[in-house]
Amino acid sequence: MKNQKVSFNEFYLENGIFLQNVEVVFHTFGTFNKELNNVIWICHALTANSNPYEWWPNICGENGFFNEKEHFIVCANILGSCYGTTGPLSADENDNTYYDEFPQITTRDMARLHEKLRNYLGITKIHTLIGASLGGQQALEWAIEQTNLFDHLILIATNAQHSPFGIAFNESQRLAIEADPTYYLKTKSGGRKGLIAARSIALLSYRSYDSYSLSQQNNLSDQVNQFKAAHYQRYQGEKLANRFNAYSYVTLTKAMDSHNVGRNRENVKNALQKIKAKTLIIGITTDILFPLSEQLFLNRNIANSIFKTIKSNYGHDGFLLEFEALKHHFHSFYFKTKNLTGHYESYDLGNILFTA
C-alpha cells in the first residue's frame, strides 16, 4: 500500500478558473500484471478518503474482492476534499487559504483531475472503473469523456443528473452550516457546529425508516427523553466533524448539485450513449436519495449495461454495508470462476435492458 502525492502545475476548472500547483493525494495497492490490464480505479464518495481499505473492507483488502495480489488498485482523493488534495483549506500560490472562497467545482472537474493522474501514472487501460454515490457521478463523467479507456464500469447508487430532491437535502445541510457564525471566521474549525447539524440532516437521506426502527428503538415504554435516535444523530455529527471540515463539505455538496452529464453535450441521454464499457448498475431498494428509478434510467440509456438491485434496510448507506450482496453482483457480472487478472471467462452482457 502506498500513500502518495503529486502536484500539477496547472489545472483549468470547467468554469475557466485556473488553479496553480494542484496537489492530489492518492493510494495504490498491488502492481501491474504483464499485460497491464489489471487496473481497478475506485472513485470515492462525499466524505471518504483515498484509502478504500479503510472504508470498503471486504470489497477492497488483502482478501477482498479487489485485492493487491491480483490487481493494481488506484483511488485518488477528490478535488475540494480535506484529505490532502487541493481544497478550501489548501493555500494558494500566495500562501492564502481559501476557506469559503474556494472556486466552484463540478464532478466533471473531479473526473478530469483523475485523468491527469492517470496520465502521470502511465496507465493506458483500466479494467474496471467503479464508484458509488458521488463516486459514481465522477465515474460516469470520466467514462463519457474517455470512451475507450475502460473495459468495465460499475455504478452503485448513483445518477446521471442530481435530482431536485438531492439538491434540496444538500441546501438544507449548507443552511445549517451557514447558520453557524463561526463559519465566517475563516478558521480551520469554522462552522463545526453547523457541520454537526448538517451531518444529522444528511443521515436522514442516507438511511431508512426501517433502519432506525431496527437499530435505534428504545425499550422503555415510559421514556420521554434521552432517545437512542437522538443520541445517534449527535454522535454521527460529532464523528464527522472530528475528521472533516465545513468548507470542504459545502464545496463538495455544491459539486454534487452541479452533476449533469448532459451539460454542454446536447442532453443526458446522448451523453450516456457515448459510454462503451460493459456496465453494471446497482441500485438499493430503500435508497431515497438515489432511488431505483435513477439507476433504471442509466440502464436504459447505457447500451451495454445490466441492472441489479440490493434489498437492504440501510437505505443509501447500503453501498457501504452490504458487502456480500455487492460481491455477489460483481461475481456474476464478471465471470464464472473468480479470476480478475485480465484472463477470465466473461459473461456476454448483450443488450439487456432490465434484470432484477
Assign residue 191 a region (left: φ > 0; alpha: ψ between -120 and 50; beta: otherwise): left
Give 89-129 pLDDT, tens digit per residue. 998 777 789 999 999 999 999 999 999 999 999 999 999 99
Residue type, 297: F
What structural domains does the chain harbor? 2-164+259-334 (3.40.50.1820), 166-256 (1.10.1740.110)
Measured distance CA(291)–CA(232) in Å, rounded: 24
Measured distance CA(307)–CA(56) in Å, rounded: 22
Q: What is the pTM of this model?
A: 0.91
* Residue 100 CB contacts under 8 Å (≥ 6 apart), including other chains: 88, 183, 184, 186, 247, 250
Instruction: Report the SS3 class of residue 281.
Output: strand
Measured distance CA(22)–CA(14) in Å, rounded: 15
Res 197: pLDDT: 98
The gap from C-alpha 18 to its chain's centroid, in whole angstroms, comes to 24
List active site positions: 133, 287, 316
Assign 335 a pLDDT band (cuts: 50, 70, 90). Answer: low
Give 210-243 pLDDT, tens digit per residue. 888 777 777 767 777 778 899 999 999 999 999 9
* Residue 34 CB contacts under 8 Å (≥ 6 apart), including other chains: none
